Amino acid sequence: MRVGRAEFVVSAAGAAQFPRDGLPEVAFAGRSNVGKSSLLNRLVGQKGLAITSKTPGRTRLVNFFRIDGRIYFVDLPGYGYAAAPKSLRETWGELVEGYLRARGELRGVVFLLDIRREPTDRDLEMRGLLEEAGLPWIPVLTKADKVGRSERPKLIHRIAKGLALPDPRQTIPFSATTGEGSRELWAAIAERVRAPDPRPARS
């Protein structure tokens, strides 16, 4: 998909700062340094839209990006960075959990994991939260260019097993460097955006 316009809207520290125009939202979640910003930039074709950093834990707010005036991409704070002060980690957790559980515009979550790593306890906590919240999620395996093609089946199977996915083919290997997986991820996102609110009974 070719994006005509992608723009940063707001870095929100709380629900009062979230956009109120009712556009559907797709959130991006994953542990610190998993490559969320690089993935976002690759998807929209703008290198500087989301700020990338080699320092884990840089993203501390909920960042909203409006895509072609039709949907929001929502960059959630990374989790699992032990060097962040405990009080900040708790605040991020409350902010993210509140957003995932209560945001009516949210249609699903792109759940990022490093293809080279097994799911951590924090990854499994995030998966559990998504399941509890009734949110559809898209498992995306970042940094796919870092491993050889022959290694992939074993790594993908290991991650799928760790996440209790019934089929490893549900995952999308992705490379922000080469663009691999962009088309598949856009298709999955488009499907989520077209779908109705996955939690219609939620107030």
**3-class secondary structure, 86:** helix
The CA–CA distances, whole Å, from 181 to 26, 38, 47, 110 equal 17, 13, 17, 13
Q: Are 164 and 114 in contact (CB under 8 A)?
A: no
- Mean pLDDT, consecutive 10-residue stretches, the chain (203 aa), reads 83 94 95 90 82 50 93 89 59 84 94 96 91 94 96 96 95 96 96 79 52
The domain limits of the chain are 6-194
C-alpha R_g of the chain: 16
CATH class of 6-194: alpha beta
pTM: 0.89
Residue closest to 36 by CA, chosen among 100, 107, 144, 112: 112
d(CA 107, CA 125): 20
d(CA 201, CA 154): 40
Q: Please give the helix or strand (H or E) that residue 168 lies within, else none.
A: none
* pLDDT for position 54: 47
